[in-house]
Chains A and B, each alone.
Chain A
Amino acid sequence: MSETPFMLDDAKRLPWPEQYEALANSAKAPVLKAFYEAGCASPDTPVSEVPMVALDFETTGLEADEHSIVSIGLVPFTLDAIQLSHARHWVVRPKLPLHQMSVTFHGITHADIYNAPDLSEILEEVFASLNGRIPVVHFRHIERPFLNVALQYRLDEGIRFPVVDTMAIEAHLHPDRQPSFLKRLVGEKPLSIRLADSRTRYGLPHYAAHNALIDAIATAELLQAQIQHHFSPQTPIGDLWL
């Protein structure tokens, strides 16, 4: 991941709220300035009081430096409620040539992509949903690095923020998910911490469709379930974010 060059290494070690303050001063792009100015919850804030936003990208591949964002889904939520009234979904035009798109995108046609705006055209809308909220993702190595590279490319500066990773929570809850050599011999499979499989463990329903928005909603539901089963509404957000 390429980091913002304007930031001192010291600042990166600051707690997230202070880091946001420092970044608010150094950021040039108005959207980023506004994002940091909206602030970050203090690490000891109970998770039940933290505004969050579940975020999911579909991308042309797994490498932020080589691949592009194709669609963005997000839904603001709290531990208590996921607000579908504020759910958003955008298809954006990837920077990379289409022949690189080996991945198929559910429900997105090539025509959709050709007609889609560039990410730079919708940044303000996207940030309107992000500002003041802690992003929640399932598998943190996609949304944060992809957004960072995309902004680096368009605004000439990257972005930093904490994320709550529901996959990391599952990994933490199931440290022994790889069966022993012996158990693998008798056919035991490793426990899956993929989104759909993790949801099944909490009795959450299966969603037939796959798009960035439904996956964002699915992630938000999963976090609600994880906290109610393994943590508490009083758990400080600082224990959860990464």
Chain B
Amino acid sequence: MQAELIDIRNHLIQHAPFYDMPEELVNQLTASIEISYVRAGTQITETGQISTRMYYVRSGAVEIFRRSGELYNRIGEGGIFGQFGLLMRGQVRFPARALEDSLLYRIPAETFHHLFENDENFADFVEIEDRSRLRSAVSRREKSNTLMTSRVSRLISRKTVSAPTTVRLQEAARIMTDNGVSALLLMGGEGDSERLTGIITDRDLRTRAVTEALPSETPISEIMTEGLITIRASSYIFEAMLTMLHNNVHHLPVMDGHEVRGVIALADIVRYESQSSLYLVSNIFHQQHVRGLKKISLGVRDSFVRMVNEDANSHMIGSAMAGIGRSFTQRLLELGEEELGPPPVPYCFMAMGSMARDEQLVVTDQDNAMILDNSFVPEEHDEYFLALAKFVSDGLAECGYTYCTGDIMATNPKWRQPLKVWRGYFTDWIENPKAESLLNSNIFFDLDGIFGRTEFAEELKTLITEKASNSQLFLTLMARNALNRTPPLGFFRTFVLEEDGKHQKTFNLKRRGTAPLSDLIRIHALACGSRAQNSLERLKSIGETKLILEDDLSNLRDALEFISIVRIRHQALTLEAGGEPDNNVRPEDLSPFERSHLKDAFQVVSNAQKFLRFRYTSQATRHV
């Protein structure tokens, strides 16, 4: 390449897939380019033509069509087209027409194949279409994290130690000591019908047996934990981690069908997961005061950054952060009850929004509520619950979970009500929906009981599941609200930036990305009668009803993962630089790869919104 062509090379390397290309290859590429100017309206390639080159748009814009004549894509500065025909060493697959006066760099087939054979990134990039390109970006990332590629079975190092449920306390303790294990599996039944029925751990021996001074002859079945949470041997390690986080357990029996393969302990995972969000959680439960919790909360952000640096995916990070938030809340409720005495009537403490969805990040406020038992009498009991709510809410604020600006907190009397009132709320929202009130109550449709009588929350979920799928008007209005926030993609697949206020020249990855996605997933899930709260699990339920085809579902999953992870990485980088994280990203802070994939992901959101609009607003005109 002539050194004087550097201007041309420099333009190429600002764009995927030339960004990371070895210098020698980019130089060869530059030297092989043919430049061609085309006027707006010029047919650049026609279906059936022999493909002899790939095109790079240096300036202007080009439209790509399907054979049916339908617009397939619009490509602006820095974009490429014509690669598919070349790959098949055949005919033009998608005809192209100049939308604006454009300057095109033509890359001859010979160069294309040379790049294809010598640069894996380039090959990956051109080989796959936008959507699948997004998928491979997501999976490439995940492959580098062992938690996501290694199976639980790999962690089973020691032999399984078990005993029949009939053993006595002292005998059980001796077996554990002799074998050097911290957990003992307890088997009920005999012979072929032998089944895992319980577990006893070191901690159980301390807290249940020793502190209660139980006689050594106590049957172990009286103090063992039943209704075990287990994990399949084929699960990935990160799933085991999430299970531990979500349920606050430190031992998981590993099952192969009904057969016990072993037990994995917290410590086994911590070896893989050095950022120790699990340690953080177990530490939370050891704190006796709010000030201790506050001290621990300072480590939450470090834990977040470490997970990002270890290439955890957004599901892991979101679940870990939600698990941590849930643990703070649970511990605060325990401390609150210690201070205020036992509750006068049963209650359930609920989390709403991102914590309920297991999609929490570091920048988050508290969204919570209380469901009280129907025997609740305000004059007699509310003083207690207000005090408890305030204790938790203030404690959470101390720990970095800021007060909810929309006042969706248990301290608000409206959201501290007996179950029957809550049933009335949801019935009204669903059966007499109004667009405006739904905007405010949207957040209640992501709910999770996290403390106390969680079955109250389950009852509300059941009510929602039964009613929502039958109320077309409710779904229609929810859909209309969900369409208010659109992805920041302009006509030419350029980013549309915020023009107002202090976030000029940025776009908001939450408001314009993950939020519209989780909104539309929620609506489909409600329509399908799903009880799931997590967006990925909701997608799974949606898939089971075939409302959305598997291909489109994977696109949604990938888009959600990609936008989330860019948002997460942006926050982690800000934290590492000592800044205050937010959701506003400047396009120039993204790598060309991120920019390109993000556009693909936003396109998926945009298409999904079109489907939502088609499905609901067209029906609205019929029914309303």
Contact = CB atoms under 8 A, between A and B. Distances in A.
Interface string B1-32: 01111111011000000000000000000111
A89 B36 CA distance: 21
A205 B103 contact: yes
A80 B2 contact: no
Nearest to B105: A84
A81 B100 contact: no
A221 B103 contact: yes
A84 B4 contact: no
Contact of B30 (A84, A205, A228): A84
Given A83-B34, A205-B59, A207-B7, 14 more contacts: A77-B35, A81-B35, A81-B106, A82-B36, A84-B8, A84-B31, A84-B33, A84-B35, A204-B103, A205-B103, A213-B5, A214-B4, A214-B7, A220-B35
Nearest to B42: A228
Given A209-B7, A213-B2, A214-B7, A228 B37 contact: yes
A80 B36 CA distance: 6
6 contacts: A81-B36, A82-B36, A84-B33, A203-B60, A204-B59, A205-B59
A73 B35 contact: no
Contacts of A77: 35
A240 B57 CA distance: 29
B53 to A, nearest CB: 10
Interface in B31-54: 31-39
Interface-central residue, B37, B60, B101, by most chain A CB under 10 Å: B37
A208 interface: yes
Contacts of B5: 84, 87, 213-214
B599 interface: no
A213 B35 CA distance: 14
Q: Please report whether the interface of chain A is mostly helix, strand, loop or mixed according to DSSP.
A: mixed
A80 B102 CA distance: 13
A53 to B, nearest CB: 14
> Could you say which interface size class chain A belongs to?
20 to 34
A212 B100 CA distance: 28
A224 interface: yes
B567 interface: no
Contacts of A83: 34
Chain B binding surface SS class: mixed
Contact of B34 (A84, A88, A107): A84
B58 interface: yes
Contacts of A88: 2
Contact of A203 (B33, B35, B101): B101
Contacts of A41: none
Contacts of A214: 4-5, 7
Interface string A46-76: 0000000000000000000000000001000
Interface in A217-238: 217, 220-221, 224-225, 228-229
Interface of B: 2-8, 10-11, 30-39, 58-60, 100-103, 106
B58 A205 contact: yes
A73 B4 contact: yes
A87 to B, nearest CB: 6
A73 B2 CA distance: 10
Interface string A194-217: 000000001111011101111001
A107 B3 CA distance: 10
A106 to B, nearest CB: 10
A100 to B, nearest CB: 24
A234 B32 CA distance: 28
Contacts of A85: 31-33
Contacts of B100: 203
A81 B34 contact: yes
B240 to A, nearest CB: 54
A202 B101 contact: yes
B9 to A, nearest CB: 10
A89 B35 contact: no
Nearest to B40: A203
Nearest to B29: A84
Nearest to B38: A228
Shortest 6 CB-CB contacts between residues of A and residues of B: A213-B4, A224-B37, A82-B35, A81-B34, A205-B59, A203-B101
A193 B566 CA distance: 46
A202 B103 CA distance: 10
Given A83-B34, A84-B30, A225 B101 contact: yes
Contacts of A211: 4
Contacts of A224: 36-37
A112 to B, nearest CB: 11
Nearest to A71: B4
A23 B379 CA distance: 114
A209 B426 CA distance: 65
B310 to A, nearest CB: 40
B462 to A, nearest CB: 61
A117 B329 CA distance: 79
B103 A208 contact: no
Nearest to A228: B39
A209 B6 contact: yes
A208 B34 contact: no
Nearest to B11: A205
A241 to B, nearest CB: 20
Nearest to B59: A205
A64 B393 CA distance: 84
Contacts of A221: 35, 37, 103
